[in-house]
Amino acid sequence: MADRVSRYLQARYFAVQLTALEEAAAGIGCLFALQAHADDLPEDAREHLAFAVALARERYLAPNSTVQACHAYASDRVADGYADALLRDMLAALEALGVRPQVQPHGIDHRAMQQRQRAWKAEAASGMDAMSLSPVQERIERPEDFPAFLEDVQKG
């Protein structure tokens, strides 16, 4: 039973991060698709995506943390290299499944990326006391789906 619970929890944990990755990428003109080759992501886009994943991760793991604490955590994980290492690992796992980043023909939308970064900074400076449920987390399946998940696990 423990292995099933662990797989379920890991699936939810990474679903939050993968959703954040997909949404942040789409916001700057990059999609993930089944394709033969991966498009190169510029360093600033990689850092942007790494921050988005680290922020979603912290909001998921510490839902009662302050907005400032979550943003500080994400910034620290970018600075110490953890967020980039996690992003590289996630991209490698997706690539093993044949899913690779595809930059839209117009390229990375640097203006949209800068706007999102300004929004993150404004959110961090807002002085909110506690995090509400992350918009990313709200789209992830709720715990009531656990029995169905166990049935799927038992089937294979």
Over residues 66-107, the pLDDT tens digits come to: 899 999 999 999 999 999 999 999 999 999 999 999 998 889
Residue 42 is predicted with a pLDDT of: 93
Type of residue at 14 = F
pLDDT, tens digit, 9 for 90 and up, residues 139-153: 454 445 545 555 555
Query: What is the extent of the structural domain holding 69?
Result: 2-155
- The model's pTM is 0.81
> How many structural domains are present in the chain?
1
Provide the token pair at 99. 């899913």
